[in-house]
Structure 1
C-alpha cells in the first residue's frame, strides 16, 4: 500500500491557491508511507498519540515538522515539548501553563494554537470563545509559549451550512485577534477542507485522503 499521490498533489494545489499549509495526518500510518510523502518534499506531519509520535520522531528524519493535533493530556506534555513544532489542541489554561513550564525546562519556546469548541457535539474538546479571549489577554505571562493562532473542528454532519457557519464564526474571531498573514487558523480535514479554505482557514489537517484508511490493531 502506498499513498494516493494524485490526490495529494490536488490537495497541495488547493492549499497553494489559498496560501495554506497542509498538515498530513499520519496517525496509525506506517513509517514507510510517511517516508514516501517525505521524499516528495513534504515536511509537516500530524500525530494524535504521544507514544506513537515519540516512536516516529526517533525513527524518521530530523527535519520533519511534527504537529500534535490530538487531545494532549497535561501529564504527557513533557514528552513532546522538547521537539514538537506546533501543538494544535491547547484546550485549557491548565494545559497551557504545563506546556510553558516544560518548555522552560527544555529551554525553548513552543508554538501553540488554542483549540476553540465550535461543533454541536459533546465529543469534541475545546475552549469557548470567552475562555479563549481570557487566555489571549494573559498570553504575555507565558514566556516559553507562543500562541500563534487557533484550531477548530466542525460538527460531523452532512449539513454543509452548519459546518460553514462554524468555520466562519471561528474565522471572524481569528481575524479579531491575529494577523492571517503570519498566524495559523487550523480548520478543515479530508471531508471539509475546501469549505474550510473558502471560509478562511490557512492550515488543513488531512490524513485518509492521502494515506488511505487506517488499520487499527
Structure 2
C-alpha cells in the first residue's frame, strides 16, 4: 500500500548520495527530516519502517495529536513557529526545536527543560531577507541573542535554521545558502558555553540538492517523500 514511500525515500537518498559524491561529503553528514504536515500516522509509520529516522511538524497541536500513534524510536522535530505558552506541551517530546527567534522563547524553553532535567537542543531561525511573512531574526541580531542566551543552562544552541523563499529556479537560492553556511561556520567562534554548532537546517523538497551542495546538514523533505498534500477543508 505504501510502496511508493519506499521508492520516494530511495530516490531522495540517491540524490543525496550523488550530491555528496560531487562535493566530497559523506552521506552520513546529511539527515533527512520527513516533514509530515497533513499526513496521517499510518503513512508516517510506513515511512519510518522504510528508514526515515527523523520527522518534523510545523505545529504543536499536530505533534500532540499524532505522538502516541507514531512508532517509538523516531526523533521528533518542531520546525514551525513556537509560541512561548506552548513550550510546556512538547518539551518532553521533541529532539530539536528549529525555530528559536527570541530571548523570551529561549528562556521559556530553558525553564521547562530544567523542570524535567533535560538539556533541550535548539536552532536559531534566521530570516535573511527580513521577510514579513516569515519568522526568524535578522543576521545582524544573532550575536546579541547568543550573548543574551549564554546564561541558560538547560538549552544547547546546535546551529541555525533557514526557510528560503519560493522561487522558480532553485539555483537563485545558492547565495542565500552560502551566506547561511558562513554564519554557521562562524558559530564555532562563539565564546558561549551553550553553543555547539552541529546542524544547519536548510533546504526543502524543491531545493535540497543545492542546500546540501552549500553545506546543509539537515534537509526538510515533505512532498518528495509523501506526495501531494491534502489540506482539510476550512
Q: Aligning the two structures, in what range does the TM-score lie when normalised by the shorter sequence?
A: over 0.9
Higher relative contact order (CA 8 A, sep 6+): 1
1:160 and 1:39 map into 2 onto residues whose CA distance is 31
* Residue among 206, 225, 228 paired with 1:191: 206
1:99 and 1:170 map into 2 onto residues whose CA distance is 24
Verify: 1:4 aligned to 2:5, yes or no.
Answer: yes
Verify: 1:31 aligned to 2:41, yes or no.
Answer: yes
Q: Is the 8 A contact 1:69 1:89 kept in 2?
A: yes
Q: Is the 8 A contact 2:9 2:50 kept in 1?
A: no
* Residue among 183, 186, 189 paired with 1:173: 183
* Residue among 83, 94, 106 paired with 1:96: 106
Verify: 1:201 aligned to 2:216, yes or no.
Answer: yes
Q: State the number of aligned residues.
A: 216
Say which SS state the counterpart of residue 72 (structure 1) adopts. Answer: coil
Q: Is the 8 A contact 1:4 1:209 kept in 2?
A: no
Verify: 1:121 aligned to 2:131, yes or no.
Answer: yes
Shift of 1:132: 1.4
Q: Is the 8 A contact 2:5 2:50 kept in 1?
A: no
Shift of 1:120: 6.1
Say which SS state the counterpart of residue 143 (structure 1) adopts. Answer: coil
TM-score (norm 1): 0.92
Q: Give the gaps of 5 or more residues in structure 1.
A: none
Say which SS state the counterpart of residue 32 (structure 2) adopts. Answer: strand
Residue in 2 that maps onto 1:42 = 52
1:12 and 1:210 map into 2 onto residues whose CA distance is 10
Alignment deviations for residues 33-89 of structure 1 (CA, whole Å, 9 cap, x no partner): 111111123220000111110121112122110000111111111100112100001
1:105 and 1:197 map into 2 onto residues whose CA distance is 37
Q: Is the 8 A contact 2:162 2:180 kept in 1?
A: yes
Say which SS state the counterpart of residue 11 (structure 2) adopts. Answer: helix
Residue in 1 that maps onto 2:193 = none
Say which SS state the counterpart of residue 4 (structure 1) adopts. Answer: helix
Shift of 1:191: 0.5
TM-score (norm 2): 0.86
Say which SS state the counterpart of residue 204 (structure 2) adopts. Answer: coil
Shift of 1:183: 0.3
Deviation larger for 36-45 or 198-207: 36-45
1:120 and 1:110 map into 2 onto residues whose CA distance is 27
Matches within 5 A, 1:105-184: 105-119=115-129, 121-178=131-188, 183-184=198-199
Say which SS state the counterpart of residue 150 (structure 2) adopts. Answer: helix
2:48 and 2:104 map into 1 onto residues whose CA distance is 35
Alignment deviations for residues 167-200 of structure 1 (CA, whole Å, 9 cap, x no partner): 1111111111139x96000000000001111111
1:210 and 1:159 map into 2 onto residues whose CA distance is 21
